[in-house]
Chain A
Amino acid sequence: DADVTQTPRNRITKTGKRIMLECSQTKGHDRMYWYRQDPGLGLQLIYYSFDVKDINKGEISDGYSVSRQAQAKFSLSLESAIPNQTALYFCATSETPGENIQYFGAGTRLSVL
């Protein structure tokens, strides 16, 4: 089984719908992250969490929210999806203290029509 699991792997939704992407990890890491990847662009950080009670905005948080339900679970929500949120979304984890290596899930491909 994968150490960082994302569900769903693919999702098609309509403009205005609320959608949740889920991430769970078995690595026992404290830190979790949500990234977005668009063609021709680098990975961009949406939100990050250092522990269950510590959640922070990244560089592109507008239109997104997150919930850290437990050390192992970190969910990303799109409150009202819009077409330019069509992208690949990745969850990642890292250990504290440690080498700051981030380990990524397989991603969710989201299409907003």
Chain B
Amino acid sequence: EDQVTQSPEALRLQEGESSSLNCSYTVSGLRGLFWYRQDPGKGPEFLFTLYSAGEEKEKERLKATLTKKESFLHITAPKPEDSATYLCAALGGSNYKLTFGKGTLLTVNP
């Protein structure tokens, strides 16, 4: 059974304090690893897709990386507006079913 585990469950940072979120996955035939951002009362918003180990993608203060067992979302010099829940999801061999982690609630204090 495909599994995705995110850690920590919650992370509180001061503005400018860089850190990383972890997503470990057990998926047969990984076709893609997805990161989403979810704000309260809203739907998940797509951030990145990674397809193979060693791949990296960046967007503003966020950088996502992928190994054969886990993915990291690095946040550099975060701002309060980066506060949100970050979801990781893995697409396995079925080619349609995303297995989601429970998310990491990030709070960035000014």
B100 touches A100 (CB 8 A): no
Tell me if B's interface is mostly helix, strand, loop or mixed: strand
A104→B42 CA distance, assembly (Å): 9
Could you tell me which residues of chain A, from 31 to 67, have a CB within 8 Å of some CB in chain B?
A: 31, 40-45, 48, 50, 58
Interface residues of A, count at CB 8 A: 24
Interface residues of B, count at CB 8 A: 24
Q: Which residue of A lies closest to B48 (CB)?
A: A101
A100 touches B102 (CB 8 A): no
Residue of A31, A42, A99, A107 with most chain B CB atoms under a 10 A cut-off: A42
Residues of A that sit less than 8 Å from B by CB? 4, 31, 40-45, 48, 50, 58, 90, 92, 94, 99-107, 109
Residues of B that sit less than 8 Å from A by CB? 4, 31-32, 34, 36, 41-46, 49, 87, 89, 91, 95-103
